[in-house]
Amino acid sequence: MTDAIQVERERGLLTLRLNRPDKKNALTRAMYSHLAEALQQADSDPGINAVLITGSAECFTAGNDIADFIQQPPNGLDSPVFRFMHNLLECRKPVIAAVAGAAVGIGTTMLLHCDLVYVSRDARLRMPFVNLGLCPEFGSSLILPRLLGQAKAAELLLLGESFSGEQAAAWGIACEALGSGEETLAKAREMALRFESLPPEAVRISKQLMKAPDRELLRKVIEEEGALFTQRLRSPEALAALTGFIKRH
Ligand code: COA
């Protein structure tokens, strides 16, 4: 367990707060492990109705810790990042995200698998995988072209263009864009607490129905992306880009 993930329980809502402000909440292996475990516990605890994933009012996350990518790259399905994303995808309870500031890499990818997403208008979302010599991950190569069309998805995934919270809401990646980080967190919490007064079995079945049609295809795509992503992490292109980031900081 790491202090960089704060777990708070408020009645039936479990909040997982990314809390590594000095590194813009960049996600380490220890943080993924903690998130994976908390999601699993929330899923099996009948007292939990919903899970809220958030960062601070200034920053969601700068994505995977780049030093970790170089020193201890994920290697197979048992790696912390795969366990976290697996538990997120398989979570039977609603998962809500509140995003303000930067949401880079997996910080954007994970939103594609949350049930409700609230963003601040000026949030900056970005998937710079190609820019780092990598490739899309965890189903984004399937989900984004379907959601946005091939051309807009290519801007985001091939060029690594950043986009605002306002655009995320207009494109259907988020439910709503709000004025400030504080407003975003408050709105997401309010919506997450609504699940307390809804019948949990009906919520669970409805979420399952919404996810079922794509589940098998998504698993296959994630497997293909994962194999290529882990190969790419060890490629000269990626190593040059990742070490370049470390040298600049
Ligand atoms: N991994 C490790 N450390 C990171 C990090 C990451 N993904 N992102 C930021 N940091 C660290 C920086 O090294 C810096 O640490 P230092 O103060 O010890 O030098 C600190 O966080 C602040 O980062 P900085 O870049 O100065 O903040 P900023 O406000 O100017 O920019 C971001 C914020 C998120 C836009 C920028 O840090 C960024 O682009 N980070 C990389 C994102 C990325 O490529 N993630 C991987 C995607 S696969």
| pLDDT tens digits for range 203-231 | 999 999 999 999 999 999 999 999 999 99
Which residue, by CA, sits nearest to atom 35 of ligand 1?
102
* Domain annotation for the chain: domains and CATH numbers: 5-185 (3.90.226.10)
Order across the sheet with 124-126: list the strands.
102-104, 124-126, 163-164
Asked if 232 and 133 touch (Cβ cutoff 8 Å), the reply is yes
Q: What share of residues in the chain are helix, strand, coil (percent, to 5)?
A: 55, 15, 30
Q: Which residues contact 239 (CB under 8 A, 6 or more apart)?
A: 70, 133
| pLDDT tens digits for range 158-181 | 999 999 999 999 999 999 999 999
Using the mean position of ligand 1's atoms as its centre, give its distance from the Cα of residue 54 in Å. Answer: 18
| pLDDT tens digits for range 14-64 | 999 999 999 999 999 999 999 999 999 999 999 999 999 999 999 999 999
Nearest ligand 1 atom to the CA of 102 is 34
Query: Can you give the C-alpha Rg of the chain in angstroms?
Result: 17
Which residue, by CA, sits nearest to atom 10 of ligand 1?
23
Which residue, by CA, sits nearest to atom 4 of ligand 1?
23
Asked if 53 and 16 touch (Cβ cutoff 8 Å), the reply is yes
94: pLDDT strictly greater than 90: yes
Which residue, by CA, sits nearest to atom 21 of ligand 1?
23
Give the Cβ contact number of residue 165 at 10 Å: 26
Using the mean position of ligand 1's atoms as its centre, give its distance from the Cα of residue 100 in Å. Answer: 15
